[in-house]
Chains A and B, each alone.
Chain A
Amino acid sequence: DTAVSQTPKYLVTQMGNDKSIKCEQNLGHDTMYWYKQDSKKFLKIMFSYNNKELIINETVPNRFSPKSPDKAHLNLHINSLELGDSAVYFCASSPGENTIYFGEGSWLTVV
């Protein structure tokens, strides 16, 4: 029943590894996002997709590559993980111009 679901919720991995976070929404929304929340709880948009097309890319390092196989899914792949990538990553979706609905977050710890 979860509207925006993302997996895994917790992920601990070593520096240099490659990892993916998956996101699915069952709300029928056209737009999906990835947001990053840093250790100071500051939230910032990373990417936005509309109907599988990249709309927003907020100067995120190339090591981060979003992929949208269909409009209900937006996965985030991260190559060569660094300590500074440790954060909470939120997937979200929106029907259009206003309200954005967030998933439960994925807590990534790079050691």
Chain B
Amino acid sequence: AQSVTQLDSQVPVFEEAPVELRCNYSSSVSVYLFWYVQYPNQGLQLLLKYLSGSTLVKGINGFEAEFNKSQTSFHLRKPSVHISDTAEYFCAVSAYGGATNKLIFGTGTLLAVQP
């Protein structure tokens, strides 16, 4: 079974400052890793994903994340945030499972960007 831990439920940050949202996972098998963003009263949008290859992955809106297998982490970073980045961010993991593939989500981190 897999699990995901997002240590911070809320991260306040000032506009144009850098931010890191932490995500750690647990799994006995190889996994795929994802970050999704949910803007207020909207659906889930895929920010980026790690499937294989380079451990540094770049996503939309200037976000990037680094897969660290030894630390079982997949932290999300952005060098300079905007007010419009205020949203809930979810880290998720799925095992290599074919038709039984399913996402296990963390509890989410609210990124609150202040002017």
Q: How far is the CB of A17 from chain B (nearest CB, A)?
A: 23
How far does the alpha carbon of A100 sit from the alpha carbon of B64 in the complex, in Å? 19
Residues in B with CB closer than 8 Å to A94 are 101
Whose C-beta in chain B lies nearest to the C-beta of A44? Answer: B105
Docked-complex contact B105 and A97, CB < 8 angstroms: no
Q: How far is the CB of B42 from chain A (nearest CB, A)?
A: 7
How far does the alpha carbon of A86 sit from the alpha carbon of B96 in the complex, in Å? 32
Partner of A103, one of B34, B43, B107: B43
Assess whether A45 is interfacial by the CB under 8 Å rule: yes
Partner of A97, one of B34, B44, B97, B108: B97
Q: Scan residues 61-111 of chain A and give those whose CB is less than 8 A from a CB of chain B.
A: 90, 94, 96-105, 107
How many A-B Cβ pairs are below 8 Å? Answer: 65
Query: What does DSSP make chain A's interface, helix, strand, loop or mixed?
Result: strand
Chain A: how many interface residues by the 8 Å CB criterion?
27
Additional 8 contacts, C-beta under 8 A, given A98-B32, A103-B43, A104-B42: A33-B102, A43-B103, A48-B99, A56-B102, A90-B43, A102-B45, A104-B43, A105-B44
18 A-B residue pairings within 8 Å (CB atoms): A35-B103, A41-B38, A42-B107, A43-B105, A45-B102, A90-B44, A94-B101, A97-B98, A98-B32, A98-B51, A98-B94, A98-B101, A100-B34, A100-B101, A102-B36, A103-B43, A105-B42, A105-B44
